[in-house]
Amino acid sequence: MTAFPCVRCKAELASDLPPHATVICPACRMAHVQAADGGTNAREEVPAPPPSSHGIRVGLKGELDGVPFTILGRTIQSQGKNRWSEWCLLDRENRTHFLSDAQGALHLLKLRGTRPHAPSPASITVGTRLELQPGEVFHVRERGETITVSAEGQLPYEVVLGQRIAFADLDAVGGALATLDWREGMEQPPDLWDGYATTPADLALAVGKSGAPDAFECPSCRQVSPLHLGAETISVGCPKCWTLFQRGDTGWVSGGPQKAGARPLLSLGRSGVIRGETLLVAGVMRRSCMVDGESYGWTEYFCLVKDRAQGTPEQRHRWLMEQDGHWSVIRPLGRGDVSSAGPEHVLFQGDSFKEFSTVRGITESVLGEQPYACQPGDAALLTDYVKPPRMVSAEDTGDEVFWTLGDYVQRSEIAAAFPGVELPAPDGIAPNQPNPARGTAMWTLLLTAAFWVVILLVYFIISGGARDAQVARFDITPSPPPASPEADPAAAAGDSAFYSEPLTITANNRNVQVYVSGAPENDWESVDITLIHEASGTVRGTTLQLESYRGVEDGENWHEGSTVDTGYLANVPKGTHVLRVDAECGRKPCGAVTVSLRSDVPRPMYAFLLLFLLSLVPILGFAYAQYLETRRWMNSTNTVGGEG
Amino acid sequence: MKSLIEKFGKPGGWVIAYALFGTLMTGSYVYAATTGWDWGSEKGDIPAEVRNSQHGYRTYSYWHSGHHWHGPTFLFWSSSPYRGYRWGK
């Protein structure tokens, strides 16, 4: 450690870092750079950074991979409207690391080394593949330039306010992240930093409460609103006068008035439990896009996970998105969580998501808090990849790609979480909505399979045990019945129909197949079959029809009708039976018929009819599910469409 | 069952209705198959007085005076609960 007095105020300063490091006087804000010869050069006065959202401060001690470290200093970096902190950590083994604190997210960055073959920052394109050296492959997530706007403590390099530093944030295959940093200038090869998301707890940092104010007083209308995000709040839309403000170096800067719109369904400050997390609505953003000349709007409710005071945005930030009455809960994804899986597909947690739409989303209005700079008119390219009920989305601002994961939430869940809110009924089918008919179709398919098993089992057992035995066969010439016994004395003695000799049927309560054949010529013949059980007097009967017509028309022979017919007598008891056959026809006398009886005959027709009938239900169910799927993909901007 | 619910969602009203319908139909088939029931078969009883008469079940007036047979009775349902014999007067 080197000790020296402040050049300006003579306050006692100390440096734990090697030469060329910057030490900023906490009293007068003067920056000092240590020379290689041990001397100290004063540079410029550096503004003081605002309080940290996580309560991290210079001098705080922690532990990284079992090695104790101390936080020496930090800079505030600015990229347009967005600002973030970069904390410098020095561990007991004299290694420096950086802790990036951007939009509430902490990422620890460790130096991997210089990459002399890295392309120039200008030639790097967001979303493309980048191979820095053999086997070291990344995808470019963000590219930009940052300047240092304020600093405190000790930094291992010379801090120059306003100096532009190029960087490229990279996603590694497998989910790791990295950053290329041209801090030493564009001419010098960049440093590659490995990084990962972390929390104060992971680093054993005993953070206190954030020094940020807990309320926002609208400079325009004096309405006071709570600041749930504290110092993380970058944009605030006043819920009373709709004026938008951005956090500036010295306070809130007006972003101009917004056109007042309809009140959001979920009011600011409300909280509800969704998927086991208590979400507090901190901000509301309305966005829209144009597709084929038509405007489509949706609402994004920015929520904080109430039960988690600290953690990464992945742990603490959620959005509830509502469009056409459909809801999704959305969480930010860590850098590197999503990888490309061929054209129109991305891979997340081993699942392939298919591109559904790519639109240019425009911010319409902002109410309440947002953890980043935003204002009406902001545009971003929004790409949704779906695998219902989940949806991976990429928001590409040109300089940065921000990935999120959406999970479809049923309207009933939202209603239960936020009672009393009048929710619109869902319209159409949402991109990530689980196909409501597919589950039903699958259930009916399972049930049908079970019914099939039972029906086929019963059929094969019954038909396998069927005797299918010939009982009798008769050639009969029917005599027509007399008009009355009085007209025909013979009739008084008894019925004139054909009666067989007693027949023995051995199968009990099984069917009897009746087969009748005849030869009516240009006539019909109706044959009544009755089987009389002698012991009980029970009868079973059926009527069979024969008909045959033929002729010549326009020199062509034609024939219609059938000279055979089959019927079944049900549930015939075993024992002795008498067959009664009576016939009627168009022209008397009726022609001869042959009647054949078989007992206990297998009947596959009913089984197959029932199998067919039951199968119709899942078939129709899947057809309806496919119809809904077609309707879903009709809303896609991806012309290929179809399920991934 | 729990994994099925996780996979396909909780079965809704349509699924339950189909389960009941399918069970009824399958049960009916099992009943029909095991009892030899068949469509189109009529059933009846010759009254004792006819059977005990001189010509028994061959009595002319019984077959030609219109008796009442049941159509194909299935469980508690009959397709023609009161059907006059076709040749009866």
- Is A439 within 8 Å of B9 when comparing Cβ atoms? yes
Q: Which of A325-334, A380-389, A585-594 has the lowest mean pLDDT?
A: A585-594
**By C-alpha distance, which of A167, A223, A175 is closest to A195?**
A175
| Percent of chain A whose predicted confidence (pLDDT) is above 90 | 41
How far is Cα A399 from Cα A125, in angstroms, rounded to an integer?
9
Of B51, B57, B87, the CB nearest to A481: B87
Residue B15 CA: distances (Å) to CA of A389, A448, A449, A455, A530: 21, 11, 14, 19, 44
Do A540 and B43 lie within an 8 Å CB cutoff?
yes
Residue A444 CA to residue A449 CA, distance in Å, equals 8
Residue A111 backbone dihedrals phi, psi, to 5 degrees: -70, 125
Question: Percentage of chain A with pLDDT > 70?
Answer: 91
Give the mutation candidate from B3, B15, B61, B74 for the A interface (greatest A CB count, under 10 A). Answer: B15
Report, as an integer, the average pLDDT of A365-371. Answer: 91
Indicate which of A451, A457, A622 best probes the interface with B, i.e. most B CBs within 10 Å of its own CB.
A451
User: CB neighbours of A394 closer than 8 A, spacing ≥ 6?
Assistant: A338, A346, A381, A382, A383, A385, A401, A402, A403
A205-219, A538-552, A611-625: range with lowest mean pLDDT: A205-219
Closest chain A residue by Cα to residue B74: A570
Angle (deg, nearest 10), helices B13-35 and A604-634: 170
Q: Which residues of B touch A529 (CB under 8 A)?
A: none
* Torsions phi, psi for B83 (to 5 deg): -120, 125
Separation between Cα atoms, residue A351 and residue A305, nearest integer Å:
26
With H, G, I as helix, E, B as strand and everything else as coil, classify residue A634.
helix
HSE-CB of A268 using CA atoms within 13 angstroms:
22
CB-CB under 8 Å, A543 with B86? yes
Outline where A327-435 has alpha helix (H).
411-417
Judged by CB atoms closer than 8 Å, whether chains meet at B33 and A610 is answered as: no
Instruction: Please write the tens of the pLDDT for every residue from A593-607.
Output: 999 999 999 888 889
Bridge partner list, A318: A303
Confidence of residue A451 (pLDDT cuts 50, 70, 90): very high
| Confidence at A202, pLDDT banded by 50, 70, 90 | confident
Confidence category of residue B77, pLDDT binned at 50, 70, 90: very low
CB contact under 8 A, A440 and B15: yes
Distance CA B53, CA A494 (A): 11
A101 beta partners: A85, A106
Residue A456 has pLDDT above 90, yes or no: yes
Phi, then psi, of A529 in degrees rounded to 5 = -110, 130
- Give the global pTM: 0.62
pLDDT tier, A306 (very low <50, low <70, confident <90, very high otherwise): confident
- Print burial letters for A182-214: b (CB count within 10 Å at least 16), e (below 16): beeeeeeebbbbbbbbbbbebbebebeebebee
CB A378 within 8 A of CB A372: no
Q: Is A607 on the interface with B (CB under 8 A)?
A: yes
SS3 B41: coil
Residue type, A509: N
Residue B84 pLDDT greater than 50, yes or no: no
A573–B contact, CB cutoff 8 A: no
Residue with tokens 């605002």: A50
List, in order, residues 6 or more apart from A305 with CB less than 8 Å away. Answer: A277, A278, A279, A280, A311, A315, A316, A317, A318
Beta bridge partners of A396: A381, A401
Name the helix (H) or strand (E) containing A464: helix A436-465
- Whether the CB-CB separation of A55 and A210 falls below 8 Å is answered with yes
| Higher local confidence (pLDDT), A113 or A640 | A113
Q: Comparing A69-78, A521-530, B58-67, B79-88, which segment has the lowest mean pLDDT?
A: B79-88
pLDDT at A491: 53
CB A410 within 8 A of CB A597: no
User: DSSP letters of A101-146?
Assistant: EETTEEEEEEEEEE-TTPPPGGG--TT-EEEEETTEEEEEEEEEEE
Predicted local distance difference test score (pLDDT) of residue A53: 64
Residue with tokens 């019954």, as numbered in its chain: A462
Nearest CA in chain A to B20: A447
B33, A458: Cβ pair inside 8 Å? yes
CA atoms within 13 A of residue A402's CA, in its CB half-sphere: 16
Q: At what angle do helices A436-465 and A604-634 cross, to 10 degrees?
A: 170
Q: Round the average pLDDT of chain B to a whole number and report it.
A: 73
Specify whether the CB–CB gap between B50 and B56 falls below 8 A.
yes
pLDDT for A257 beyond 80: no
Q: Report residue A77 as tokens.
A: 């970096």
What pLDDT was estimated at residue A209? Answer: 56
Question: A494 vs chain B: nearest CA distance in angstroms?
Answer: 5
Q: Has residue A626 got a pLDDT over 90?
A: yes
